[in-house]
Amino acid sequence: MIQKYSYDNWGKEAYIDKDGAIIGVGAFLLANSYVGKRIEIPDFRLVPSDAVILNQKQADDLHPVSVELEKLRKEIVQHNMRHCQQYLSKRYWY
pLDDT digits (tens, 9 = 90+) for 61-93: 999 999 999 999 899 889 999 988 888 887 655
- Parse the chain into domains and list their residue ranges: 2-65
The structure's pTM equals: 0.73
Cα gap 63→45, rounded to integer Å: 6
Cα gap 57→71, rounded to integer Å: 27
Lateral strand order in the sheet of 34-35: 2-5, 14-17, 34-35, 52-53
At 18 the pLDDT is 81
Confidence of residue 17 (pLDDT cuts 50, 70, 90): confident
27-33-35 Cα angle (round to 5):
70
Fold for the domain defined by 2-65: UDP N-Acetylglucosamine Acyltransferase; domain 1 (2.160.10)
